Each structure stands twice: as C-alpha cells, then as structure tokens.
Structure 1
C-alpha cells in the first residue's frame, strides 16, 4: 500500500500563498467552490497530506473564503468543497444565524485576512430549523431559535399557515428564508462588508446543502 505522501490522488501538501490568492477574483473562488462540490458529489475527493499542511500553514494563512455554516456534524464544510487545511475560514453556529460575534468574525476574515467570498450555508434536516418550527423553548436555545422565527414568518406567506410540523416542504422553505435572512443581516449589520461587496472586493452568497446527494444549491440569483 502506498504511503499518503506518494499516493497519486494525494492533495498537495503546500497551502495557499498570498500570491496565489491575489490572482483569484471573488468569482474565480466561487467557481472553485462549485467545482470542488462537484468533486464531492462524484466521490472524487483526494487524500489530504494534513501532517505536512499543518506545518506549512503554521506561519500564516490566506484562505479563499469564509463559510458561515450550521453546527451540524453532518456538514463537513472543507470536504463539501474539496478544499484542504488553510483554504477556508469556517464559522459554525446552530442554524447558521448571524449575531455581532459572527459579523466580527466575517469582517476579520475578509477585511483583515483577505478572504474574497462569504458563503452562508444552510442545509436540509436542520435541527435548529426544526426546533424553531416546533417553538422549543429551553435555556439559551430560546434566544437562538428566536433569530430563526422571521424566516418562519416569511415561509408562512408562501406556504400558508396550515403546515404540519413534519412538513418537509415547509421546512425547506424556512431553511431557504433563513439563509436569505442571514445574508440580509450581514449586509445591514456590517457597513464594512457591504462596502467591500459594493466595490467588488468580495462576493456574498447563500447556498443549501442537500444531505442526501452532497450537492450545494447556490441561491445567489434567487433573490
């Protein structure tokens, strides 16, 4: 059996350099993520030489993008986009909601560290979405789920109020509107990021991860 470092499908050990990232536009990076997701859905992931990449990344990092993802353990962000250590910033919070700390993290990733794309990544069968629909109230979870409630209101306008708690179509609508809501809150809550987007320095997009197929459906043109 070949060692990882000599395997023909091993992802190169070198991490992104500042010069390599500088050559890529925000749109280039979006296309890289789409291409990487295609690899993921077709089971074409390469082996990662993480031992060497950890050493290479120790002195600095130049990630391409920052992904605001849900806490869910079934959403392996780097794998979904076929990227390695040092390629992506990943912010995780249940329901991929936005608060001041998330906004500060996104600003750091883009304005300070140079990431050129923000992706809000929702997903099917999200426990936070399901809990918000069921109106669960428990400790600090209550205030978190309250941030998802406006998406439920938006979904009711489309679906109607006669939904069942187990209605997957309604749940999917809430998931989509929750992503859209997070995108709106990023633009409204961060003048820094809004201006960077206006100047073409970054792209801010949304997507939904399909838990069965592994495909990410981007929502950039959906609203």
Structure 2
C-alpha cells in the first residue's frame, strides 16, 4: 500500500533515471491491473505542510488519459500540467521551471496520446474561436509530418495523425530546451532529464520516444 509521501530527503536521493523507471513501472502495474492501493488520508496528512514531487508531466487534457492513474502515482508524487495537445507556452514553461528548479522534481515528461483530438484538429486546419490560436502551437508538427508521411495530410490518414502526435511531443521537448534556459542548464548539469512518450488508448501502455 502507498501510505508514505515523498519527503525532501527521499526526493533528493532520486535520479532522473530512477524516476523515469518508477513511472514506467507504475504504468506497467496499471496495464496489468495491479495498481497499488493507496491510503489517501495518510498522504493528505503528510503533504499538508509541503510537497516534494519527483517529476512533472506535461500532458493533454484528454479525459481518457488521467495521468496519475495511468502512471499509478498518488498524492504528492507528481506535478501535472495539462493543455489540449500537450504543447509548451510561457505559462507551461514557468510551471515546469517551478517544478524542477524550485520544488526539486527530477524529470520533465512530455506525454502525448494516441488519436489526440487537438492534433487531429490541427491536421485538419480547424478554425474556431480561441481554438484556432491554440492549434498554431501544434502546426510545426503537422508540417513536419506532411514531409515524412505519404498520403493525405489530414485526420483521415491514421499514419499521418500517429506521426504528428509523435512529432508534437518531440518538437515540444526541443522547444522546452530552447525556450527555458533554466531547464536546459539543469539537464546539461545532470540534475534533470526531459523525455517524451505516447500513451496508447487501446492498451493503456506508455511508449517512450
């Protein structure tokens, strides 16, 4: 049972690699139907005075990808930043920097997912209110995939959508390193790692990129 929250000492002893393996083991438990039981009351009590999460996950808002659930994490374990299409902007970057530089997280994990609605909308050039400007953040991935994948460059081409989901994760990672001197320097110094993966709606499995 998970009933002991991460403390500062525990967090300090972690490495980016160990945190990544922990998250992937948690995902394996989820896929296998062996998610850990949790004493939420104990964790709430232990985290009232502070928090020391081991990672920050940048994910999509999609209701089918509840991040703590699919990675089998509990209260106090991870930060989660969510935006449709799991891209970075100044607010997300500030949140990631806070997570790592201020709060001590060891890993930035950009998590895309299969059949992402935001990615499909970007592939189709959807224009609707504020959604239009939001989708601009995903267009670099759309354009990259159009060069790499044969067939129609829209959501009717499943291979194109799949490649765009992957490229969106990878380009987001590139832009995080480019736009955040804090995170880039922390990664260069071995304090953190910035990684990415894609969640399968069909299997529940997180596949690293």
Mean CA deviation greater in 139-148 or 164-173:
164-173
Mean CA deviation greater in 130-139 or 100-109:
130-139
1:64-143 residue pairs with structure 2 within 5 A? 64-143=54-133
- The equivalent position to 2:3 in structure 1, one of 6, 13, 16, is 13
Distance in 2 (CA, whole Å) between partners of 1:56 and 1:164 is: 49
Distance in 2 (CA, whole Å) between partners of 1:54 and 1:138 is: 41
How many aligned residue pairs are there? 209
Q: CA RMSD in A?
A: 1.1
How far residue 34 of structure 1 moved from its aligned partner, in angstroms, is: 1.3
How far residue 41 of structure 1 moved from its aligned partner, in angstroms, is: 0.9
The equivalent residue for 1:37 is 27
Which secondary structure state, in structure 1, belongs to the residue aligned with residue 155 of structure 2? coil
The equivalent residue for 2:167 is 177
How far residue 13 of structure 1 moved from its aligned partner, in angstroms, is: 2.0
Distance in 2 (CA, whole Å) between partners of 1:102 and 1:42 is: 32
Which secondary structure state, in structure 2, belongs to the residue aligned with residue 120 of structure 1? strand
Point out where structure 2 has 5 or more consecutive residues left out of the alignment: none
Distance in 1 (CA, whole Å) between partners of 2:180 and 2:2 is: 36
Structure 1 residues 204 and 123, CA gap change in structure 2 (3 angstroms): same
Structure number, greater radius of gyration = 1
The equivalent residue for 1:208 is 198
Which secondary structure state, in structure 1, belongs to the residue aligned with residue 21 of structure 2? helix
The equivalent residue for 1:26 is 16
Point out where structure 1 has 5 or more consecutive residues left out of the alignment: 1-10
Distance in 1 (CA, whole Å) between partners of 2:152 and 2:9 is: 54
Distance in 1 (CA, whole Å) between partners of 2:126 and 2:19 is: 38
How far residue 83 of structure 1 moved from its aligned partner, in angstroms, is: 1.1
Distance in 2 (CA, whole Å) between partners of 1:77 and 1:162 is: 32
TM-score (norm 1): 0.91
Q: Structure 1 residue 186 and structure 2 residue 176: aligned?
A: yes
Q: Structure 1 residue 156 and structure 2 residue 146: aligned?
A: yes
